[in-house]
């Protein structure tokens, strides 16, 4: 069977959902943002891993419709939450979306239609976007930055991060440290790498998030590096929109 055909139908039938994972300020443990994560419960196959269906979407021309759906859904939800909370929402975008010169226009219309202010939206970009088509991606990312939308470098340290990209593209306002480093805390080498990313972030005046925090020991070691924000199962699993609204109401 073709997962791509099923995914296209699922998008049309609104069978995908977004889960939202809290991002907390380590010092206060308050939720300051939520990250939207796509979920697909296939009619026959059951839940399918996002890494699998996002990959299918990218290989079969569905990255744009999937991305458009996720953006619109997340912005609609966030605009509602912002009537009682100052939360911001982060949406993952694929490299293919960033190669589309129409993407900034699409983002602008979603913001206009949902009433979400640009500063309340963040787009998470993995470092692999720079591998191909660097010029085109840089144009799109610059246009989004000019609109006031926040840009976050996701999975930092995982693979292709190059100091030259960090130097050439200063528009990222946040580095998200890949969870493979957090998983190894408090091991000295992991601590050293995280400390170096935190130092770079400070010098660039950008914020840092440690991802995938699962234990208090990891959170303490992360805080000791000077990292201010964290995400992970210890602090909050990805949950549905209703559960996030309840958390935000209790978070004020
Ligand atoms: O939720 P989970 O950790 O299993 O997500 C696995 C991967 O899928 C992560 O890299 C995440 O960034 C990616 N992902 C989740 N939702 C989306 C989405 O809406 N769009 C894109 N491009 N990637 C997503
Ligand atoms: O690539 P990106 O950072 O967007 O992916 C986030 C992924 O990490 C999601 O699939 C999310 O479900 C997962 N995740 C979030 N918190 C934790 C955690 O504490 N531990 C692990 N193993 N995965 C996590
Ligand atoms: Mn992410
Ligand atoms: Na990440």
With H, G, I as helix, E, B as strand and everything else as coil, classify residue 1.
Answer: coil
Residue 36 CA to ligand 1 centre (angstroms): 8
How sure is the predictor about 161, in pLDDT bands with cuts at 50, 70 and 90? low
Tell me how many domains the chain contains: 1
Residue with the smallest CA separation from ligand 1 atom 12 is 92
CB 75 within 8 A of CB 114: yes
- The CATH code of the domain that includes 88 is 3.20.20.450
Interface confidence, given as ipTM, is 0.98
213-250 pLDDT per residue, tens: 999 999 999 999 999 999 999 999 999 999 999 999 98
**In the 3-class helix/strand/coil scheme, how is 89-152 assigned residue by residue?**
EEEEECHHHHCCCCHHHHHHHHHHHHCCCHHHEEEEEEHHHHHCCHHHHHHHHHHHHHHCCEEE
Q: For residue 153, what are the domain limits? A: 3-249
Measuring from each residue's beta carbon to the nearest atom of ligand 1, which residues come in under 6 Å?
37-38, 50-51, 54, 70, 92-94
Q: Is the CB of 6 under 6 A from ligand 2?
A: no
Residue 90 CA to ligand 2 centre (angstroms): 14
Give the per-residue pLDDT at 14.
Answer: 87
**Burial class of residue 178 in the structure, from the number of CB atoms within 10 Å of its CB (0-12 exposed, 13-18 middle, 19+ buried):** buried
With H, G, I as helix, E, B as strand and everything else as coil, classify residue 172.
Answer: coil
**Taking 70 as the threshold, does the pLDDT of residue 1 lie above it?**
no
Q: Which atom of ligand 2 is nearest to the CA of 154?
A: 3
């Amino acid at each position: 069977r073709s997962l791509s055909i099923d995914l296209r139908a699922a998008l049309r039938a609104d069978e995908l959902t977004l889960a939202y994972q809290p991002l907390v300020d380590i010092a206060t443990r308050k939720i300051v943002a939520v990250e939207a994560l796509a979920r697909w419960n296939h009619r026959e196959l059951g839940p399918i891993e996002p890494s699998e269906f996002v990959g299918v979407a990218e290989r079969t021309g569905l990255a744009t419709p999937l991305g458009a759906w996720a953006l619109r859904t997340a912005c609609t939800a966030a605009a509602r939450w912002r009537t009682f909370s100052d939360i911001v929402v982060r949406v993952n975008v694929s490299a293919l979306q960033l190669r589309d010169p129409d993407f900034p226009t699409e983002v602008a219309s979603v913001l206009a239609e949902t009433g979400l202010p640009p500063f309340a939206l963040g787009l998470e970009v993995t470092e692999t976007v720079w591998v191909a088509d660097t010029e085109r991606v840089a144009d799109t990312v610059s246009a989004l930055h000019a609109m006031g939308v926040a840009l976050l470098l996701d999975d930092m340290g995982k693979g292709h991060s190059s100091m030259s990209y960090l130097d050439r593209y200063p528009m990222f306002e946040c580095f998200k440290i890949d969870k493979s480093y957090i998983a190894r805390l408090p091991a000295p080498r992991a601590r050293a790498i995280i400390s170096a990313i935190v130092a770079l972030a400070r010098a660039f005046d950008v914020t840092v998030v440690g991802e995938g925090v699962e234990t208090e020991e990891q959170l303490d070691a992360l805080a000791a590096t000077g990292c201010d924000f964290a995400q992970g199962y210890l602090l909050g699993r990805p949950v549905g929109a209703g559960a996030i609204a309840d958390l935000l109401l209790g978070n004020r």
